[in-house]
């Protein structure tokens, strides 16, 4: 298995991709296929007067939309189904509706999302609907046992796993053994990096069936990636399965790539295996990976349409391909 960004001597592939919704800023796109149709659950950037980048405060999103595509990713008509709920509909939240994801079980649709609570601590909430585009009813409390940001849900054989966590403004560095510790911080550069978390959802889909566990991302020698490693986890978890293997992908934050690691179980451990996307225009990079109509896709965002403003991002899609050995062909993010 290759551990380089690309196969030896191979440059990242330059491909134009498609901006999915040029008329507004949408970020963090989590895409799924429900009943054969593509749905996207992004966060909604806007030109907020909050212009303070400390702790990610400039990502000041206040509502969520849902999109669907009539047809395929590259040519289908992208439909905006409008606002599904706003921060005022979340009794426990104060601001910053960050990245979200969705899952379907027994005809119900669950929208998992992130917001700061009234004390400024990021938590993960859930809203439920009878259709993929809503109307969604928000649960009155965050999901007990979850914390930090960026929920992503993976389903297999009727079991649902929720991944979460993000460093920096996402506050993951403040948790040890699932407990908030105001004094905790990032490890030293030569120490193991902080892992994202995973837990199985209970049958009701709105509570956890178990305590969150660390998602270990290892190097080829079996050691956890160090905090100083440019491919260590930062935020934006995603899990997909390809050819019987589990691919955990994520943003590396300050080194601005989307990277991935491969394992044999949804719980990991995962071995670092390469980059999916090189840096894009803008600070953050976030994504989902999915199969539709027998083809694989990377759905992500960049800040090119806003002229490089990190807090104003646009959804984009690229075709994704795998080599015979299961590694992913790296896409040039365009920076
Ligand atoms: O959009 C706000 C935050 O920026 C997300 O939750 C992170 O993943 C990053 O994209």
What CATH number should be reported for the domain holding residue 238?
A: 2.115.10.20
Look-up of token digits 């990976």: 289
What is the per-residue pLDDT for 52?
Answer: 86
333 found inside a domain: no
3-state secondary structure the chain: CCCCCCCCCCCCECCCCEECCCCCCEEEEEEEEECCEEEEEEEECCCCCCCCCHHHCCCCCCEEEEEEEECCCCCCEEEEEEEEEEHHHCCCEEEEEEEEEEEEECCEEEEEEEEEECCCCEEEEEEEECCCCCCCEECCCCCCCCCCCCCEEEEECCEEEEEECCCHHHCHHHEECCEECCCCCCCCCCCECCCCEEEEECCCCCCECCCCEECCEECCCCCECECCCCCCCCEEEEEEEECCEEEEEEECHHHCCEEEEEECCCCCCEEEEEEEECCCCCCCCCEEEEEECCEEEEEEEECCCCCCCCCCCEEEEEEECECCCCCECCECCCC
The confidence score (pLDDT) of residue 8 equals: 67
C-alpha of residue 142 to centroid of ligand 1, in Å: 18
Question: Is the CA virtual torsion 269, 271, 277, 280 positive or negative?
Answer: positive
Indicate if the pLDDT at residue 5 is higher than 60.
no
Provide the pLDDT for residue 58.
Answer: 96
266: which 2 tokens?
Answer: 């949804």
Band (215; pLDDT cuts 50, 70, 90): very high
- Contact present, 47 and 26 (Cβ < 8 Å): no
Among protein residues, the one with the nearest Cα to ligand 1's atom 8 is: 236
- Report the atom number in ligand 1 closest to the C-alpha of 114: 6
Residue 211, pLDDT score: 98
Q: Is residue 301 part of a domain?
A: yes
Band the pLDDT of 246: cuts 50, 70, 90.
very high
How far does the centroid of ligand 1 lie from the alpha carbon of residue 100, in Å?
A: 9
Which whole number is the average pLDDT over 257-265? 98
Read off the pLDDT of each residue in 300-329 and give the average, rounded to a whole number: 98
Q: pLDDT band for 6, please (50, 70, 90 cuts).
A: low
Token pair recorded at residue 309: 């403003």
Asked if 282 and 313 count as a contact pair (C-beta separation under 8 A), the reply is yes
Using a 10 angstrom Cβ sphere, with 0-12 exposed, 13-18 middle and 19 or more buried, the burial of residue 35 is exposed
Mutation test residue for ligand 1: of 25, 30, 43, the one with most atoms within 8 Å of CB = 43
28 is catalytic: yes
Is there a catalytic annotation at residue 235?
yes
| Distance, CA of 17 to CA of 258 (rounded, Å) | 16
Considering the domain boundaries, does residue 325 fall inside one?
no
Options 60, 101, 229, 235, the catalytic residue: 235
- Atom 1 of ligand 1: nearest residue by CA position: 98
Separation of alpha carbons 71 and 77, rounded Å: 7
For residue 284, give the ligand 1 atom closest to its CA.
Answer: 10
**Token digits for 107?**
């005809």
- Give domain status of residue 171, yes or no: yes
Number of separate domains in the chain: 1
Determine the residue of 60, 122, 236, 333 to mutate for testing ligand 1's pocket, defined as the one with the most ligand atoms within 8 A of the Cβ atom. 236
User: The whole model's pTM is what?
Assistant: 0.97
Residue 28 CA: nearest ligand 1 atom is 10
Q: How far is the CA of 37 from the centre of ligand 1 (A)?
A: 25
In a domain, 19, yes or no: yes
What domain range includes position 31?
5-320
Centre of ligand 1 from the C-alpha of residue 43, in Å: 8
The number of the ligand 1 atom at minimal distance from the alpha carbon of 169 is 3
Residue-wise pLDDT tens digits, 177-207 = 999 999 999 999 999 999 999 999 999 999 9
1 — pLDDT class (breaks 50, 70, 90): very low
Q: How far apart are CA 260 and CA 217, in angstroms?
A: 9
Band of pLDDT at residue 9, cut at 50, 70 and 90? confident
Distance in angstroms (rounded) separating the CA atoms of residues 269 and 56: 29
Residue 284 Cα, ligand 1 centroid: separation in angstroms?
7
Instruction: List phi, psi (to 5°) of 77.
Output: -75, 125
Of residues 223, 224, 221, 273, the one with CA closest to residue 246: 273
Catalytic pick among 28, 60, 150, 275: 28
Q: Could you tell me if residue 190 is inside a domain?
A: yes
Q: Parallel, antiparallel, or unpaired for β 37-44 and 77-86?
A: unpaired
What pLDDT does residue 333 have?
A: 98
Question: 30-83 pLDDT, tens per residue?
Answer: 999 999 999 999 999 999 999 888 899 999 999 999 999 999 999 999 999 999
206 C-alpha vs ligand 1 centroid, how far in Å?
A: 22
pLDDT (average), residues 158-167: 98
pLDDT at position 7: 73
Instruction: Give residue-wise pLDDT tens across range 276-300.
Output: 999 999 999 999 999 999 999 999 9
* Mean pLDDT (the chain, rounded): 97
Ligand 1-lining residues (CB < 6 angstroms): 27-28, 43, 59, 98-99, 114, 149-150, 166, 235-236, 284, 286
Output the residue whose Cα is nearest ligand 1's atom 4: 284
Residue 4 has a pLDDT of 47
pLDDT at residue number 295: 98
Mean pLDDT of 228-255: 98
């Amino acid at each position: 298995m290759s551990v380089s960004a690309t196969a030896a001597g191979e440059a990242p592939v330059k491909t134009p991709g498609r901006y999915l919704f040029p008329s507004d800023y949408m970020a963090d796109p989590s895409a799924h296929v429900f009943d054969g149709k593509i749905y996207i659950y992004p966060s909604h950037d806007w030109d907020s007067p909050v212009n303070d980048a400390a702790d990610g405060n400039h990502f000041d999103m206040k509502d969520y939309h849902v999109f669907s595509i009539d047809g395929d990713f590259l040519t289908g008509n992208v439909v905006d189904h409008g606002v599904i709920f706003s921060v005022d509909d979340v009794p426990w939240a104060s601001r910053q509706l960050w990245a979200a994801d969705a899952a379907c079980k027994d005809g119900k649709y669950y929208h998992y999302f992130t917001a700061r609570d009234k004390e400024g601590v990021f938590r993960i909430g859930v809203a439920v609907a009878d259709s993929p585009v809503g109307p969604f009813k928000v649960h009155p409390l965050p999901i007990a046992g979850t914390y930090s940001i960026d929920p992503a849900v993976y389903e297999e054989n009727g079991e649902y796993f929720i991944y979460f966590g993000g460093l920096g403004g996402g506050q993951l560095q403040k948790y040890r053994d699932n407990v908030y510790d105001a004094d905790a911080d990032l490890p030293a550069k030569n120490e193991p990096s902080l892992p994202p978390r995973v837990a199985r959802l209970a049958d009701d889909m709105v509570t956890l069936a178990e305590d969150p566990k660390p998602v270990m991302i290892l190097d080829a020698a079996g050691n956890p990636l160090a905090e100083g490693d440019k491919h260590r986890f930062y935020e934006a978890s995603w899990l997909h399965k390809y050819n019987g293997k589990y691919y955990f992908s994520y943003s590396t934050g300050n080194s601005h790539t989307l990277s991935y690691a491969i394992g044999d179980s949804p719980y990991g451990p995962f071995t670092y295996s390469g980059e999916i996307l090189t840096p894009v225009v803008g600070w953050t990079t976030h994504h989902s990976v999915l199969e539709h109509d027998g083809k694989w896709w990377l759905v992500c965002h960049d800040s090119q349409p806003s002229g490089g403003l990190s807090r104003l991002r646009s959804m984009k899609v690229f075709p994704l391909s795998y080599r015979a050995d299961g590694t992913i062909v790296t896409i040039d993010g365009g920076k």
